[in-house]
């Protein structure tokens, strides 16, 4: 698994974990694909990374390398376990990842690595490192510098000059180089000529030892409501199959048609032990259950507010809480509490 490119003895050594994604991909007749060893070759060709004043680093390449659309629960656990096992040996970690599901992985890591007190920075690129005009070069170099700095003590995502809280980040553009933002949380740093940290926005370090809390395979689902949705079609899956459901509603938590069709399904799901978390389809703002009649009904049926959480964070949080094996009422209570910086409490 490990291929060490550079390993001088120093205190600020960073572990770079390449998981796959565009940054290290190779062009093939069938499109871009990750290829073992290809990323390490591209890194070796970046002069800045061999400079004396560049932080010490080691590179590990996970196997298999993935397009991040193939990332699964076991991959989140694997990435977290590499960090957990190397925790005492490195000042910080950079996780190189495809952009498509980077916000999900960032959210997942923020729960799996409970009590984190060192920087874990996810980054990637829209153009491979080996190609002209790659945005991967700055994303990689700056992420390693942030990881070596040790100022950040949480899972963050760096992309195109912005350092974002990982479990607040969203992919906003499929082809723009400024691909991520965190509409509901201030940037953790702006990177121009210098790295300007937004200290009040940073999370305080863990006061307890780091604990590895892997996710278990669980039936978690996301349902996005839309005008004309026939809720009956989803009854089986919502009421009988899923333990946790993220309901992506309109605006502040509203559902179509007064929810007449949905509410009995939610009640049934609730009675069967499921937890329904109400999130918004709007990237910015918060769910306020009870602001409108249709959302009051959701609350009465047993749904719980995801407040200003992203869907990515809500999915990861459901995996986290159900994996802890705690009672449903406790899960419902904790959904509305800030556990890893993912949500603004009332
Ligand atoms: N499909 C790629 C991935 O997520 C896209 C990217 O890396 O930008 O792995």
pLDDT given at position 45:
93
Counting from 1 in the atom list of ligand 1, the atom nearest the Cα of 67 is 9
Closest CA to 179 of 99, 259, 122: 99
Counting from 1 in the atom list of ligand 1, the atom nearest the Cα of 34 is 9
Counting from 1 in the atom list of ligand 1, the atom nearest the Cα of 66 is 9
Ligand 1: distance of its center to the CA of 22 in Å? 5
pLDDT given at position 215:
98
Torsion 133-137-138-143 (CA) sign = positive
In a mutational test of the pocket of ligand 1, which residue from 99, 102, 130, 160 has the highest number of ligand atoms less than 8 Å from its CB?
99
Angle between helices 73-86 and 102-112 (to 10 degrees): 50
Ligand 1: distance of its center to the CA of 100 in Å? 5
pLDDT given at position 296:
83
Q: Do the Cβ atoms of 78 and 212 come closer than 8 Å?
A: no
Ligand 1: distance of its center to the CA of 23 in Å? 8
Counting from 1 in the atom list of ligand 1, the atom nearest the Cα of 22 is 7
In a mutational test of the pocket of ligand 1, which residue from 19, 20, 67, 135 has the highest number of ligand atoms less than 8 Å from its CB?
67
pLDDT given at position 11:
65
pLDDT given at position 295:
80
Is residue 99 among the annotated active site residues? no
Q: How far apart are CA 100 and CA 180, in angstroms?
A: 10
pLDDT given at position 256:
86
pLDDT given at position 8:
41
Q: Which residues line ligand 1 (CB under 6 A)?
A: 20-22, 67-69, 98-100, 124, 126
Domains delineated in the chain: 3-212 (3.40.50.1170), 220-335 (3.40.50.40)
Q: Do the Cβ atoms of 281 and 254 come closer than 8 Å?
A: no
Which residue lies with its CA nearest to atom 8 of ligand 1? 99
pLDDT given at position 258:
54
The parts of the chain modelled with pLDDT lower than 70 are 1-11, 258-259
């Amino acid at each position: 698994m490990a291929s060490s490119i550079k390993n001088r003895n120093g205190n600020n050594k960073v572990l770079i974990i390449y998981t796959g994604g565009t940054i290290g991909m190779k062009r093939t007749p069938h499109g871009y694909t990750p290829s073992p060893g290809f990323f390490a070759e591209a890194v070796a060709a970046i002069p800045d990374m061999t400079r004396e004043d560049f932080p010490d680093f080691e590179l590990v390449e996970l196997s298999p390398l993935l397009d991040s659309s193939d990332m699964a629960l076991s991959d989140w656990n694997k990435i977290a376990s590499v960090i957990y096992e190397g925790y005492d040996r490195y000042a910080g970690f950079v996780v190189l990842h495809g952009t498509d599901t980077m916000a999900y992985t960032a959210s997942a890591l923020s729960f799996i690595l409970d009590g984190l007190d060192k920087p874990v920075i996810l980054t990637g690129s829209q153009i491979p490192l080996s190609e002209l005009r790659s945005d991967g070069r700055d994303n990689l170099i700056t992420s390693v510098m942030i990881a070596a700095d040790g100022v950040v003590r949480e899972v963050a995502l760096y992309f195109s000059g912005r350092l974002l809280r990982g479990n607040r980040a969203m992919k906003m553009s499929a082809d723009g180089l400024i691909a991520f933002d965190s509409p509901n949380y201030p940037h953790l740093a702006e990177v121009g000529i210098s790295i300007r940290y937004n200290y009040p926005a940073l999370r305080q370090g863990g006061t307890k030892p780091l604990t590895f809390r892997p996710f278990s395979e669980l039936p978690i689902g996301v349902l996005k409501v839309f005008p004309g949705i026939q809720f009956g079609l989803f009854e089986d899956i919502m009421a009988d199959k899923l333990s946790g459901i993220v309901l992506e509603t309109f605006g502040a938590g509203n559902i179509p048609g007064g929810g007449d069709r949905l509410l009995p399904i939610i009640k049934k799901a609730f009675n069967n032990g499921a937890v329904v978390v109400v999130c918004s389809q709007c990237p910015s703002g918060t769910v306020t259950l009870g602001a409108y009649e249709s959302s009051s009904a959701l609350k009465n049926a047993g749904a719980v507010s995801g407040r200003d959480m992203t869907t990515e964070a809500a999915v990861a949080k459901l995996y986290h809480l159900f994996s802890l094996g705690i009672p449903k009422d406790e899960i419902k209570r904790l959904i509305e509490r800030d556990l890893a910086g993912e949500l603004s409490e009332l």
